[in-house]
Amino acid sequence: MIEQDGFEISSFVLSTPDNCSLGLSFEENDEVIDRILDELGPLGVSEIGHYSEFFVKVDRDFSMTMDKQYYLVVEGLKRILK
């Protein structure tokens, strides 16, 4: 368990760079969201929202360090959003 000032970190949110999703149509955004959930779901990705960027909620996987989980999710997002 990871605690900060008595609070357990059970999830965290990542946001992609500004304007990351503005160039995509509504259907393309849906396809990207489905792909992120399919490919990164095993790493804890549970919810995705978007406006001009994607907001990705990641549930903590306590079988790995938070640093490793964060790194793997970010690298997966980079690969998917290229």
Local structure of residue 52 (DSSP, 8 states): S
In the numeric block, which tokens belong to residue 76? Answer: 């997966």
Band (pLDDT 50/70/90 cuts) for residue 9 is confident
User: Which contiguous run of DSSP H or E holds residue 68?
Assistant: helix 66-81
Task: Give the pLDDT score at 78.
Answer: 95
Domains in the chain: how many in total? Answer: 1
CATH number at residue 59: 3.30.70
The whole-model pTM stands at 0.86
Domain that holds residue 17: 3-81
Task: Give the pLDDT score at 1.
Answer: 46
- Give the pLDDT confidence of 20-64 residue by residue, as tens digits: 888 889 899 999 999 999 999 999 999 999 989 999 999 999 899
Which residues, other chains included, contact 81 with Cβ-Cβ below 8 Å and sequence gap of 6+? 16, 20, 32, 54
**Radius of gyration for the alpha carbons in the chain, expressed in angstroms and rounded:** 13
